[in-house]
């Protein structure tokens, strides 16, 4: 089964996103300079941004015209959008299925190292803590595709590496697909099977990551 994304979208007068990503790999990395179109690509895949022209097909299912809520995607954005009127636990549970087990919830609280934050108002969180909550909410939604946009930019390197390994283990157990946009070389090596480099709105497949070469 494959993931196929073909997009043409004018971002600005100076930049048009004109690319195609097609691969049988399950965990896909996106890299490239800031402003190259990585975040825009993820928003289009999620259905949060309507492209001028696009086709999004995942494992034979055409998602192009489906609204975001019917795409079964979990998205941790570059700037976490948490609900300020809810505490950390309520943010984590938002969007998760009604039958989410307490064991699963608690295991992710452990994986993300946020045990002491569960009852805290999100307005009192640091940038790295907010990112970990956003990752948890995306994962606990139990999506078929996980979208992560620079998810570790405010998290210290050692903790980011631990969390990256736990997410990859989860993806391997569940078969969930993932797009990871990141400048973090260690996270890309740990989490993805193939990397697409995006420059000036165009994509190029580059050498498989270290995690792919050891499969």
Q: For 128-167, what is each residue's pLDDT tens digit?
A: 999 999 999 999 999 999 999 999 999 999 999 999 999 9
Contact in structure between 73 and 144 (CB atoms under 8 Å): yes
pTM of the model: 0.94
Reduced 3-state DSSP string for 89-115: HHHHHCCCCCCCCHHHHHHHHHHCCCH
Question: CATH homologous superfamily of domain 3-213?
Answer: P-loop containing nucleotide triphosphate hydrolases (3.40.50.300)
User: Within 13 Å and on the Cβ side, how many CA atoms surround 94?
Assistant: 18
Task: Tell me how far apart the alpha carbons of residues 91 and 122 are, in angstroms, rounded to a whole number.
Answer: 8
pLDDT at 215 over 80: no
Percentage of residues in the chain with pLDDT exceeding 90?
A: 90
pLDDT exceeds 80 at position 56: yes
Buried b / exposed e along 44-58 (16+ C-beta atoms within 10 A): bbbbebebeebebeb
Lowest mean pLDDT among 5-14, 96-105, 131-140, 200-209: 200-209
- Residue 208: what pLDDT? 62
Domain boundaries, given as residue ranges, for the chain: 3-213
């Amino acid at each position: 089964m494959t993931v196929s994304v073909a997009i043409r979208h004018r971002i600005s007068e100076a930049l048009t996103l004109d690319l195609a990503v097609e691969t049988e790999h399950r965990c896909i990395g996106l890299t490239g300079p800031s402003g190259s179109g990585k975040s825009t690509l993820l928003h289009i895949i999620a259905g949060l941004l309507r492209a001028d022209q696009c086709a999004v097909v995942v494992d034979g299912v055409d998602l192009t015209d489906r609204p975001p809520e019917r795409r079964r995607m979990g998205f941790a954005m570059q700037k976490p959008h948490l609900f300020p009127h809810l505490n950390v636990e309520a943010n984590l549970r938002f969007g998760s299925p009604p039958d989410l087990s307490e064991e699963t919830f608690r295991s992710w609280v452990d994986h993300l190292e946020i045990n002491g934050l569960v009852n805290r108002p999100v307005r009192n969180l640091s940038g790295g803590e907010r990112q970990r909550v956003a990752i948890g909410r995306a994962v606990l939604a139990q999506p078929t595709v996980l979208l992560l946009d620079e998810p570790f930019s405010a998290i210290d390197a050692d903790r980011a590496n631990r969390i990256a390994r736990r997410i990859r283990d989860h993806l391997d157990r569940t078969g969930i697909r993932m797009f990871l946009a990141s400048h973090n070389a260690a996270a890309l090596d740990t989490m993805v099977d193939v990397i697409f480099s995006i420059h000036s709105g165009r994509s190029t497949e580059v050498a498989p990551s270290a995690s792919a070469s050891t499969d």
